[in-house]
Chains A and B, each alone.
Chain A
Amino acid sequence: MKRRQLSLDDIESLAVGAWILGTGGGGNPYLPLLNMRMLYKDGHRVELMDAADLADDDWVGTVANMGAPLVGQERLTDSLTLAKAVTVMERHLGRRFAALMSMEIGGANGVRPFMAAAHLNLPVVDSDTMGRAYPELQMTSVAVGGLSGDPVSLVDVRGFESIVHKVPNWKWAERIGRKICVEYGSVAATCQPPRTGAEVKQWGIHGTTTKAIALGTAVRKAQREHTDPVAAILSVEPGKLLYTGKVIDVARRATEGFLRGIARFDGIDDFRGSQLAINFQNEWIVAHRDGEPLAMTPDLICVLDTASGEAVGSETIRYGQRVTVIALPPTPIFLTAKGLEHVGPRAFGYDLDFRSVFSS
């Protein structure tokens, strides 16, 4: 099996890139990054492998944290608890995993599999199931592919272990898992439904860890050399610059357990006189410029701090911030009719036909 060891510098870049791919949600990867710094200091190392190098009958564990990002800022998830979510699942299945992978490359969950992998001495597959961050479990490539949504293990740092053993679909996995998570204190380390090597090869979104590292490396290099970080991002990814402006209003409301709302921007530089509005449900979902739809899910809408090139999240975006908005292309899996049913604008309640910013 071909594997490549990641340097700590790769992981520093991964954290910056994963936050950009978080498209406003997924939580800031700073705390997982700190964990990785500590693990590397203690001599742990992690390896990345390609999905193509998995055997069809290998089993792969999908690692993610579930919960409110705010709780995660007080109850800091430690790496051993994530590793335990994996071993609890292995015990439940009576099988060992050959590798781990990310559920969502976007945000903090893009780094967390590496925290578990460092303890378990397992490689991490260079694939995920969203290619970004999304708010719900059925918004994954594996759900679009019709793969099963159970079992799920949920672990609390105080030693609680739960398994959601059997559910009819992903929506139920989300509902029951969410209840357990809330009782834990709105934070749980989880191992998502196990996947075979064959399933990962067919339904995984490939190369996303490498993509996040490339994005982060470009931004960090631009920061060091005081060059334009947004131009650096667009030089490594086939993205599109949509807008430059500053935040003039943010309205947020919590509904059905999500942070929904709208952020409004006033254009500066080339966009002076032009208004932008982006609706969010944890992640940036639909952007309108001067009243006309400009970009929408599943295209990745990334709001970046203009000066640093780092991502700006929907939970922390604030008045007066100077931002640049870009779009990045989504995985083709989400562009199919079935894919758009799961993650297109209508899946978020917007009566819009999907039109990609990359189609013209």
Chain B
Amino acid sequence: MTAATLSPLPEDKQPLVARLIDGLEAPTLLWLSGYLAGVAGQRQPSGKPSAAEPAAVPEAQPRLTVLYGSQTGNAKRLAEDLGRRASAAGLAVRVVRADAYAAREWKQERLLYLVISTQGDAEPPDDSRALVEFLSSARAPKLESLRYAVLGLGDSSYPNFCAIGRQLDERLAALGAQRLLPAGEADVDLETVAHPWLEQALQQAREQLKTSAPLAKVTTLRTARIAPVWHREQPFQAPLLLNQRITGRDSDRDVRHLEFSLDGSGLHYAPGDALGVWPTQSPALVDAVLNTLKLDGDTTVRVGSEEHALRTWLSKHRELTQLTRPFFAAHAERSGDAPLRELLAPAARDTLADLFSRWQVLDLLRRHPAEWTAETLVAALRPLAPRLYSIASAQSVVGDEVHLTVSHVDYALDGEARWGAASRFLAQHAEGENVPVFIEANERFHLPADDRDILMIGAGTGVAPYRAFVQERAERGAGGRNWLVFGNPHFHSDFLYQVEWQAALKSGQLHRIDLAFSRDQAEKRYVQHRLIEQGRRVYEWLDGGAHLYVCGDANRMAKDVHKALVAIVAEHGARSAEDAEAWLSQLIQRGRYARDVY
């Protein structure tokens, strides 16, 4: 391989690269790739994310556009994968992020695949808000010459699973476009649905573009990073260096500060990125499921080309702590339990959502007995997916370490312990043990240029990336001001990283902090209340170019904060509520209002 094949490289730089890499071993090269990716991340001007192609003038040649809307990076990864394979198959293809796709392009588009996730119950990813808004509006053009297919991503533990994908799929059809494939609905175990769908989509694209003239050249994809050696499917076994509870003993939350070693992995991350963790289910839970169903854990079960003992399937490959709608439906069917089936009706949506928030697989199996065989069970349960945690450290400061802030989900249901699979898995790890991890980049949640102010809003473990931000900006000597708005139940026991924030304030690394401890007074006070109180200042910062970040709970906090921001912009910017909303939408689209919510 020579540098010449790195096509975006100016010619005069190519010999330099050749000299640089001459004689280096593979691990060093991999490290270098990560290093350069990090440099790229830092140089990226705000609002122009690296993975997005600038909207191109439509080419004469028929071409496939793979459009994606991604919050956590999964949709992006699949879109890029599709793009790579199409390109490898000799097809003209471009991969475009939703917020880099100009509305006027729709009319010229002939072949388009849309890969888009749904956040929470029915929210689009932040980069797709404008796209969804435009397509849903009356301004959307007729799309009779468009052929398309949609791959939706979602989480079936929400009753309104893949709502955005479904909504756009229907809308495109309504605008006259021709659907090439039924919309795919991929759950958090992406591959199960996504891979066959992508295969079919690729096949379809070949056929659609077959009639066109042979391609003169292959459109080169510009991907953000060269894939590192450790990734989602091949995680790094990171030794756990520290597992420390950081809520006080009287707190009802068990929040852990975890430190892992990445020594020797070559993994690189930027502040704002996430760490993926592959959990293993607790043996006690696996036993409880086996006992409840009277199944033998040693039974061998084969799914596709994979074969494991049932116990292994359940502990390493299947979801047990989250109920999903498909499994619920399958179980309702098997149990013949009428009340269960009634819960699947649209009218029972809220009841079902509430039940999903409390019940786990085991609760369903116990309360509504049904017969399962090892094979049918493994087939019906959702494959286990890795959990993503916002990284709480800056690599520039902690070197070969990566830190997380994890809330150990642990509660009792009718006197029995229930927990979150990954948080328990992590919380129960002893220092020195290894945990399979990988880095999941989150470009939309990166730091802006050093001279920009940042306003960081986070509740609970949502404070994690801000620890990384402040570390990084202090290390770099960034000139912009840092303002943290943090909320949690109690000052005394839940002020995460209290002494670090105190030190940062004292040394001038943190310029302002506002705190909302919801349960310390009769009236509950949350971060949005602090924002409203500081409304004028919030607006002045935003109007002065500050970047705004929101991290934490998606269901309530992020929505309430958004409402508060609309009110602030309306009041202090003298705008109508609609204009304030539009003003904020612009901030989102320019990457100045970023969310990392879950």
- Do these two chains interact? no
